[in-house]
Amino acid sequence: MMKIYTKQGDKGSTQLASGEFVSKDHRIIEGVGALDETNSFIGLLRNSMDTPLLKTIQNHLFILGSNLSAGKSIIDFPETNITLLETSIDLIEEKITKLENFILPSGSLISSLCHIIRSVIRRSERFLIKSSLSEIEKIYINRLSDYFFMLARQYSDDELWINE
């Protein structure tokens, strides 16, 4: 039986999917970690509102993490993934009031969790923008933060506007 610990990382390095060893504070490891953190928060969100799209997004995040760790796209990431998010954003936008001001991240438990997810995605994006990911993958991450912003608004009990 293979053990969960390999002891290879005990001195602060880890192996990428490409086979290269890098420091655990390497930009790629930071990006993979932020994607993993995003995925974990989405898993938490699924305890309150499980939808097929959330599970699909989690799978997409695993693909992005794999591609990032490999240093190239080893798993196909089609543009239809972006279209899926944009369609979902448009459907939410039809249901909610027009945004006229900045809002504070709050509302309901689901809304607040969506704002946390959106923030972690933004951190992921900062690491991934200079990575080897494709333009489609980078656009997807940007669109994903838009999706969670809109989802937060949809599940907000009461949007708190700045300067109220």
pLDDT of residue 4: 85
Q: What pLDDT band is residue 1 in, cutting at 50, 70 and 90? A: confident
pLDDT in tens, 7-56: 888 989 999 988 899 999 999 999 999 999 999 999 999 999 989 999 99
Alpha-carbon distance 134 to 79, whole Å? 11
Q: What pLDDT is recorded for position 100? A: 75
Q: What was the pLDDT predicted at 50?
A: 83
Give strand pairing partners of 103.
161
Model pLDDT for residues 92-113, shown as the tens digit of each residue: 999 998 887 777 787 789 999 9
Instruction: Name the CATH code of domain 21-66+104-158 (choices 1.10.3720.10, 1.20.1200.10, 3.40.50.300, 1.10.10.10).
Output: 1.20.1200.10
Q: What percent of the chain shows pLDDT beyond 70?
A: 95
**Mean pLDDT across the stretch 56-72?**
95
Tokens 């949007």 map to which residue? 159
Confidence of residue 163 (pLDDT cuts 50, 70, 90): low
Whether the per-residue pLDDT at 160 is higher than 70: the answer is no
Does residue 138 carry a pLDDT above 90?
yes
Band (pLDDT 50/70/90 cuts) for residue 158 is low
The confidence band for 161, taking pLDDT boundaries of 50, 70 and 90, is low
- Tell me the domain boundaries of the chain: 21-66+104-158
